[in-house]
Every structure is written in structure tokens, then in C-alpha cells.
Structure 1
């Protein structure tokens, strides 16, 4: 009766949709079934925190995500707040219950073979635009810089003699990123083509045909368009190339501290997400290759 009166309260006083009311009822029913299975009975007025914790563990063991478990806990919290207002209980059994933390999604990145195919085998087109678009992809992959940092580059920020590029990151913090001979050649080629095709231009390193600085949507669009030629992942943004840079560095022996500095992260904890990424890839390889996996 208590459960029915709660659902009627949601339905008629709170005007919740029938779908929502049914979901609340199903969540409470799940706890009821668990309690009856484990202890042979279920009385909402006698539920204690220990039962809720055991139920949470059972849900996680059955493969429920932390998001689903927290949604179910939200239903129970509403139920017991209702019982408290009605004077049916004096203590909320969920008062000290903390739901499982939602896992952050792992960064999406491209494999080195996919980047090789993109940079070595993909036709970016002729002339200024093709040369510029290819360099943008290569620069993201070779330096790990952010989109805002790339479009903010000026000619004066590129030091060819020292093979360094100065970028301005979050909160106007500047850092130096080294580049290798291959990227240096691509950058020199672009500058030569750009200077001939766009003689009158702004101070920006990457410009449009009219000589003005590129803006975010142009770069995001060209990255998405070109990544679509080699991968089918849903996320195909400049940030994916930043993740790809960090993952490739880690896979090829770079230490986390160095990657942190190159990416311009404030905290090493932010960089450590890439160790989880590479471990997930390692698990996939193991499961595919090991005969006993």
C-alpha cells in the first residue's frame, strides 16, 4: 500500500508522466525482489542502509552501469522522502548512501596506422587549400596542440631555426613545443605556397584565401571531413588528434611528465587518462591474440 500511495502521489499530485511513474515503481520493485530473495521478506519501513548497499553491489555485479544504479537510487530517495513527510518513517535509510561514481569516457584516438594512411595516402587536393589542410592535420598529430592554440598561431610564433613553436594555451599560459624535420619541411612548404597564393594577409600563420585568420568551425569541418576518409568513429574532431598525439607518445616510450608539459596540462592527473586508454587497447590486443583469452 505504501508503494501504491507513493506512485499515486507522483501521478496525481506531482503530475509525473505514466512512463516516469512506472520507472519509479520498477526500481522499488527491484529492491523488493532483492530483499525477498536474500532475506525472505520486504518491509519498506524496516529497510536499512546495509540492505541498500548490498543491492547496489548486486546491481553492479549484474552489469548495470553507475548511471543506471544512481538513477535507481534517485527513485528510492524520492520514495523515502515521501515516507518521511507522511510520518511513516523517522530515519531515511539512504541518508549515508553514496552511489557509484560515473566513469569518465576514455578519450577517442586514432591508431598510428590510420594516421599514416591519412597523411601518406590521402589526397587533400592541390594548391594552397590542400597544402594548408594537410598541414593542419599533421600539426595536430605532431604537436598535440589545442584547436584554439592552432588558430591563434602567428608567423612570429614559429621558429624554424630552433625547430620550436610557441603556443598560447588556457589562461594565456605560453609553452614551447618542438617539431621534427618532417613537420618543419611541411610547414616551410605551406609558407611558400601561402605567401605566393595570399600575398596580402594578416599576421596569422594559418589563413583563409582572403588572408584572414582561420576560425574554429572551418578547422573543425576540415578535420572531420578528412578523418572520415580513414575512420568510422563517431567523434572526428581536432581534440581526437590531440588524444592521438598523447597516446602515440605514451605507446612509444614517452614519460607522463613530458607529455603533460607538451600538452600544457595543469595536473599530471589529467594526463594519466591516457594510461587508461593504452591499457584498454592492450586488453583488446590480448583478448584477440592470446589463445586462452
Structure 2
């Protein structure tokens, strides 16, 4: 009986070890996941030492590409980036020597969502250049979503987040139609004012008819942000804020409960396996 016990324990260790080894071998081939929100910065990780060893090439020649085309290239002091990313991409040269070839995308947009792959171009036989695959990264960019409550006569400050925000549209609470509120280049009015420095739009002298959804859209019509606005009297507005706070607390409690149940399930399963062994 004791011999059987040790046999099963040894077999279990071998299986776990083989799983760990295969996982480590394939980890560099699986795309890593990176998430960001519109207007923020995204860093796509890359380390050429995982594929080329510890010795740096005489001249680092890095390429980043999507499934469709090359979007960024750095060779020594020379840099190139695709038109859609102009002025928004960089690979810090001071970090290349230590193996860090991560791509930094500034002011990320919804349209930047996709899969990116990095390559190092090295010298091959007979002076032929060879592209060595390094890392695959899946980038997901999300819009901003908020809910706010204001009293009649108050102000709503809409964050545009990025210079690529071109339009703000509005849908009243009891309407299915969207109407234009603001477009880039519009002159300020008594109720609408665009900040001269920051990407913010202020709607003044709020009325009950301003209650509804506001969407900030980019040049492709994609949502940069969505704001649910409640325009209510003070007592009602306070109730709305309390409801939103309770919903947030309920969501946190639900997540904590799920985590506890998952941990309990793992412990019970482990105990049952040990009993069988």
C-alpha cells in the first residue's frame, strides 16, 4: 500500500513537472495581453534576449508589425512608423542594450486594438538579413464609461481624453435619436465652452432636458467615452449618488465572494485527490 502511495505521488510530480516545462517553452510563443483606455499609454513588452541570447547585435534593428503590415522600425538612429501611428510610437534606445525592445504607444485609440509581433533583424549567411521572431502581444483598447449626477443650473465637464476626439453626441433619456452637441472646430457658446489647453468640454446651465447619454466619438465614429448624466433636484441627485455607491459596493462584494468560493473549491478538490492517493 505504501509502495502504491509513493508511486502515485511520484507520477503526480512528473506530470506537474512536464506541464511546467511545456508551459515555459511555449510562453514566448503565446501572445501576451495588454489592456489600456483611449488616450492613455500602452507598453507592449519585448525582450530580444529570450530569443537571441545575452550578446547584443552590433546594431539593433527592431521591427513591430500587425497581422497586416509593419507599423514601426528602428535601426540605430533611424526610425520609421506607419502613418496611422505617426508621432505615437517609440522604442527607447537606451534600453535596447539590456534586451528591452518594448514598444510604447502614446495616446492609444480604439483602432489600435489588435495583435502585434516584434522581430529582430540580424545578419545571416552570405550577408543575407534574417528576421527573428521575438514576441506576440494582443492589445485591447477600451472606451471610458462614467455615470454622473448634477443639479439643474450646474455644469458638466466632459473629458475628451485625446486630440482624436472629434464629436460629442447626445441621446435624451426618453428618446431613441442621437443629436450633435459639439464638433471640433466649433466656436464657444453661452452654454458650451472648450478648454483652451486641456481636452475638456464644459456644458453649462444644465436643464432637466439635458438628462441622458453623452458619447465622445473619434474621427472614425468610435466611442472614446460614454457618460450617463442624471439632472435631478438636490434630494434626488443625492439618492442617485447613493444608489451608484451601493452598486459599486455590491459589485466588490460579489467579486470577493466569487474569489472565496473559487479558493474553497480548489482546497476541497486537493483534499479529495490526497484521500484517493
Give the TM-score range, shorter chain: under 0.3
TM-score relative to the length of structure 1: 0.22
Structure number with higher strand proportion: 2
TM-score relative to the length of structure 2: 0.23
Structure number with higher helix proportion: 1
